[in-house]
Structure 1
C-alpha cells in the first residue's frame, strides 16, 4: 500500500501522536526522524502530504522543504510545516521555502487529520 502522508519530526511523542491519529482515520503513513531522512523518504515513497517539523537537528524542516521543491524528478507533495515559530516573518520564510501551510504548535491532532483529509481529497 502506498503511503499518503509522511510525518517528519525528531520528537517521538509528537510523531507517534500524528501517526496514530492519521492511521485511526484510515490514512496510510510513514515516519522520518529528521529532515535528511524526510527528503529521502519523499523520493522513495512519494507521499501526497508531508507533515514536517521546522526545528530539527541537522537538516531542519525549511532546508528539507527547499530540497523537496527543487526535486523535479518526483511528484510534489503538499507540505505542512508544524512549528512553534508563529511570527509573520517565520511564516513568510516557510512559504518562500515551498511550504504550503504552517500549523502552529501546540495543535489539535483532530484538526490536523481533518486538514490532511482535505488535502488528500484535493490531490485525488
Structure 2
C-alpha cells in the first residue's frame, strides 16, 4: 500500500479515537457509494455525522478544510444521501471536517469544523 494511503488510514483512526473521546459514537468507516467515500460516520447527541478527515504535516500549503472543494463536498453529500436511505435515517445530519495535524516532532493535534458544509 502506498505511504499516503497508510497516512490516511492512520489519520482516520486517530480522528475516530479523538471523536470517541469527545462522546461521539462510531458507526462506520470508509463508506463507499459509486465514486464517493465517507471517511467516518459517527453519531453525536442523536445527530448522524459524516466526517471528512484530512491530514496535514503542516500548514505551509493550507489548512485541512481548504482541501475539501466543491466537487469533494458533492460526492460526500451524494454518498450520505445513499447511506441515509439505506439506514432509513429520519433524524438530523451534519457534515464535519476533522483536520489531523502532525508536526516534525510527531505531535498530533486536531482541528474540528462542525457543520462545515451542505
Q: So what's the TM-score if we normalise by structure 1? A: 0.37
The structure richer in helix per residue is: 1
Using the size of structure 2 for normalisation, the TM-score is 0.39
Structure with more of its chain in strand, by fraction: 2
